[in-house]
């Protein structure tokens, strides 16, 4: 909690500048689009004219796509899961979800009304995954077929909005990983493919509400984990075949399949697809190919695919800093696939709500290091590996990268850098030359034009450690790192060192457990170094958050990103936010963007109070600003305890109005925000 009090400049009118502050720091997922994923589900909500996406392990949020941007609804009661199925019930204007896997098989039925999920049933089909559903709009029934409930299943069920009914146990053979869509023009649920014998099936079946009929055994070939959607404008079912047929697009006209495209989305497995009728577009999101996930959004207009949204690729081993001169985060490098040569190209910029791509710059690389040189207003990049192990220095001026020099530190990767603001020097420590035991324990400094070796003593040689500059105490802080276990003295470090510009000092051997691949940044709002995540022994990823105050580490009991290593963090000093991106998790490479900050903006203030005579009575208005949209507030007057409450608008503002104030009324107006920020200001009314 923070409190400010201002005295009156003159009766009735007050203005001032607030002081930024942070209260109750928490992690917030601010990813501008759904993180890369597979095995999710989508349906188009006709009443609300948006595509609804749900699912993927670790993400219990519900996403909506309006054709321009994605928005995320906070998690509710529905557990994060995968391999479920979803459809839109147009008669009841609800999205229906059944089953899936969240660590155990689920047999629950949920409905989405545009605001929240509500559980509707726990009876019906057995708990299962990899089933498929379609909504029969003529009969007003959701049709479910197959899946895996411990073994492949061949049942047909229908949901009427109140209960499930088993309709058939014959028809297509038991299978999972198939796809279904309702052909409205021909009033038939169409099923294609799936794994019935371990391979993708070639059959196409139709369900008319009472029985199944085999419609075709030709067309796309054996399919599994593909997707289908019905294009009502063109009266065609669209099938995206995914990996098994090199990303081909097929259409079904009620009689046969026709190959329509071999271009568009790259081959991928288990994306999700639906038809956005308001725009006449088939929407496809996500999927997985060659052990890499994607967060691309594609749309099919009946003739060609268009890439309509692309988040930053999931990655690990990248670097990120905040460019204070230009008010944006700069991210460079990293590995965006599972192979060592899957190297990310280009530079990404974050302005507070979106990532923007810039082409060009240093050659692709991983395990590089960057920092922001505040004195010279440029980003400094050094080293890394990408085929070669680099020893080049590059400078970013907000528009482009300029090569500076290859003189200075030897070739290395897994090193760390930070900027010493008291001495206007970039500090670099450690790193690794190759995959053998050639680790570095040297300290270098960059003055804007040349590198100088300033120490070979201090912390032991290591790589994948982290550095951050504590500007309050004027010390560079180092924590952790590792040396390969096969090397003499190998293992993970859990020591904390500080550099004062002359010597290193070992200041702590307690705190976070030994680790490598963690990230650290100095939070100027908290005046603390913040550490998150990393990898311990046996490649165990960590998801803990710690703060360093110059004397001791304190673990912060705040939920946040999933355990990971190889991520990057930087502090946005203008917005008072610490940003984290990416990393490697148990599910693979990650593309989430997180903020660590108080629930408050840190800029909450009473911007003005005014008490004026309105037709013989005094009206007092207290104006609030600098708040987060949706936060609540209460303003209370000290003279008689009168109070008014409200909600902050989209401009971050609010107003409390008090009518019929007594002549000469004066006192203190106290504003309390829902995030627990508090502001006090004196007021006075005319006599």
Q: How far apart are CA 60 and CA 76, in angstroms?
A: 7
- Which region among 242-251, 315-324, 438-447 has the lowest average model confidence (pLDDT)? 242-251
pLDDT exceeds 70 at position 242: no
Mean pLDDT, rounded, for 389-407 = 97
pLDDT surpassing 70 at residue 24: no
Q: Residue range 373-388: average pLDDT?
A: 96
> How is the chain split among helix, strand and coil, in percent rounded to 5?
0, 50, 45
* pLDDT tens digits, 163-176: 999 999 999 999 99
Q: What is the dihedral of CA 626, 631, 632, 635, to 10 degrees?
A: -10
pLDDT-derived band at 104 (thresholds 50, 70, 90) equals very high
Torsion angle (degrees, nearest 10) of CA 164, 165, 169, 173: -30
Q: What pLDDT does residue 59 have?
A: 87
Largest CA distance in the chain: 90
Is the per-residue pLDDT at 332 higher than 80?
A: yes
- Of the pLDDT bands very low, low, confident and very high (cuts 50, 70, 90), residue 616 is confident
What is the predicted pLDDT for the residue at 10?
A: 29
Q: Mean pLDDT across the chain, nearest whole number?
A: 91
CA dist., res. 513 & res. 479, Å (int): 10
Give 338's pLDDT tier (boundaries 50, 70, 90).
Answer: confident
With beta carbons less than 8 A apart as the criterion, state whether 140 and 200 touch: no
For residues 20 and 606, give the distance between their C-alpha atoms in angstroms, rounded to a whole number. 13
Name every residue whose Cβ is closer than 8 Å to that of residue 58 and which is 6 or more positions away in sequence.
80, 562, 585, 587
7 confidence band (pLDDT: 50, 70, 90) = very low
Q: How far apart are CA 63 and CA 29, in angstroms?
A: 13
Strand pairing category for 678-684 and 3-6: parallel
Q: Tell me, what's the pLDDT at 21?
A: 39
Q: Kindly report the CA angle at 650 between 647 and 651, in degrees rounded to 5?
A: 105
Per the CB < 8 A criterion, the answer to whether 170 and 155 are in contact is no
169: left (phi over 0), alpha (psi -120 to 50) or beta: alpha
Write out the two tokens for 339: 């192979």
> What is the DSSP secondary-structure string of 66-91?
-SS-EEEEPP-SSPP-BS-EEEEETT
Q: What is the mean pLDDT of residues 236-241?
A: 96
Residue 57 has what pLDDT? 78
Residue with tokens 């890439």: 307
Q: What is the pLDDT of residues 63-90, one digit of tens each?
A: 999 999 998 888 899 999 999 999 999 9
Q: Is the pLDDT of residue 357 over 50?
A: yes
Number of helices and strands in the chain (H, E): 0, 60
Which is higher by pLDDT, 576 or 347? 347
Mean pLDDT, to the nearest integer, of 130-158? 97
pLDDT of amino acid 651: 76
What pLDDT, on a 0 to 100 scale, did the predictor assign at position 676?
66
What is the Cα–Cα distance from 100 to 126, expressed in whole angstroms?
11
Q: Whole-angstrom Cα distance, residue 343 to residue 316?
A: 10
d(C-alpha 16, C-alpha 454), whole Å:
46
Residue 550: Cβ-neighbour burial (10 angstroms; 0-12, 13-18, 19+): middle
Q: Which two tokens stand for residue 318?
A: 């990248």
Q: Which of 139, 154, 570 is nearest to 379 (CA)?
A: 570
What CA–CA distance (Å, rounded) separates 141 from 160? Answer: 5
**Structure tokens, 159:** 């949901």
Give the count of beta carbons closer than 10 Å to the beta carbon of residue 403.
Answer: 11
Lowest mean pLDDT, pick from 51-55, 94-98, 267-271: 267-271
Residue identified by tokens 């796809």 is 179
User: Which residue do the tokens 């188009």 mark?
Assistant: 44
Give residue 537's pLDDT: 86
Q: What's the pLDDT score for residue 17?
A: 31
Which of 60, 76, 120, 74 shows the shortest CA–CA distance to 94?
120
How far is Cα of residue 179 from the mean position of the Cα atoms in its chain? 28
pLDDT above 70: residue 1? no
């Amino acid at each position: 909690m923070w409190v400010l009090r201002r005295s009156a400049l003159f009766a009735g009118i007050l203005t001032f500048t607030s002081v930024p502050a942070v209260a109750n720091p928490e992690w917030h997922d601010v990813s501008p689009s759904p993180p890369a994923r597979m095995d999710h589900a989508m349906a188009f909500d006709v009443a609300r004219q948006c595509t609804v996406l749900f699912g993927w392990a670790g993400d219990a949020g519900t996403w909506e796509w309006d054709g321009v941007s994605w928005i995320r609804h906070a998690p509710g009661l529905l557990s994060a899961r995968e391999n479920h199925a979803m459809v839109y019930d147009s008669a009841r204007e609800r999205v229906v979800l059944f089953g899936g896997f969240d660590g155990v098989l689920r047999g629950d039925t949920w409905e989405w009304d545009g605001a929240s999920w509500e559980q509707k049933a726990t009876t019906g089909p057995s708990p299962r995954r990899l089933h498929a559903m379609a909504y029969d709009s003529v009969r007003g029934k959701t049709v479910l077929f197959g899946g895996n409930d411990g073994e492949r299943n061949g049942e047909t069920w229908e949901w009427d909005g109140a209960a499930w009914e088993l309709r058939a146990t014959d028809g297509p053979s038991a299978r999972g990983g198939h796809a279904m869509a309702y052909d409205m023009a021909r009033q038939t649920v169409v099923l294609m493919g799936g794994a019935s014998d371990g391979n993708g099936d070639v059959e196409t079946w139709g369900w008319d509400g009472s029985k199944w009929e085999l419609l075709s055994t030709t067309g796309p070939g054996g399919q599994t984990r593909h997707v289908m959607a019905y294009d009502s404008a063109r009266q065609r079912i669209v099938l995206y075949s995914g990996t098994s047929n090199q990303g081909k697009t097929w259409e079904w006209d009620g009689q046969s399949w026709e190959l329509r495209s071999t271009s568009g989305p790259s081959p991928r497995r288990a994306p999700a697809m639906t038809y956005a009728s308001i725009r006449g577009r088939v929407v496809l999101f996500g999927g997985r190919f060659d052990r890499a996930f994607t967060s691309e959004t594609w749309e099919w207009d009946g003739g060609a695919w268009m890439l309509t949204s692309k988040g930053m690729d999931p990655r690990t081993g990248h670097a990120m800093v905040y460019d204070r001169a230009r008010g944006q985060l700069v991210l460079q490098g990293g590995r965006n696939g599972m192979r060592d040569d899957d190297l990310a190209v280009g530079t990404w910029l974050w302005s507070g709500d979106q990532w923007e791509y810039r082409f060009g710059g240093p050659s692709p690389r991983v395990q590089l290091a960057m920092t922001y040189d505040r004195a010279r207003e440029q980003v400094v990049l050094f080293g890394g590996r990408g085929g070669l192990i680099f020893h080049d220095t590059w400078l970013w001026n907000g528009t482009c990268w300029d090569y500076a020099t290859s003189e200075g530190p030897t070739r290395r990767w897994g090193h760390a850098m930070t900027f010493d603001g008291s001495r206007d020097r970039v500090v670099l420590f450690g790193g690794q030359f190759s995959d053998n035991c050639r680790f570095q324990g040297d300290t270098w400094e960059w003055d804007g034009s040349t590198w100088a070796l300033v120490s070979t003593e201090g912390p032991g040689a290591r790589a994948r450690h982290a550095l951050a500059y504590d500007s309050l105490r004027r010390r560079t802080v180092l924590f952790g790192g590792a040396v390969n276990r096969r090397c003499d003295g190998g293992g993970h470090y859990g020591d904390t060192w500080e550099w004062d510009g002359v010597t290193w000092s070992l200041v702590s051997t307690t705190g976070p457990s030994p680790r490598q691949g963690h990230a650290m940044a100095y939070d100027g709002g908290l005046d603390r170094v913040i550490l998150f995540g990393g990898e311990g022994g046996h490649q165990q990823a960590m998801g803990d958050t710690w703060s360093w105050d110059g004397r001791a580490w304190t673990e912060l009991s705040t939920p946040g990103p999933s355990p990971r290593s190889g991520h990057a963090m930087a502090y946005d000093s203008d917005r008072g936010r610490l940003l984290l991106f990416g990393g490697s998790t148990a599910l693979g490479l990650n593309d989430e963007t997180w903020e660590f900050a108080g629930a408050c903006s840190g800029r909450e203030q009473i911007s003005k109070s005014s008490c004026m005579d309105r037709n013989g009575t005094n009206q007092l208005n207290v104006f609030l600003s600098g708040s987060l949209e949706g936060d609540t507030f209460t303003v209370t007057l000290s003279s008689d305890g009168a109070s008014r409450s409200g909600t902050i608008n989209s401009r971050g503002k609010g107003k409390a109005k008090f009518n019929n104030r007594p002549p000469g009324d004066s006192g203190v107006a106290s504003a309390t925000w829902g995030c627990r920020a508090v502001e006090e200001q004196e007021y006075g009314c005319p006599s």
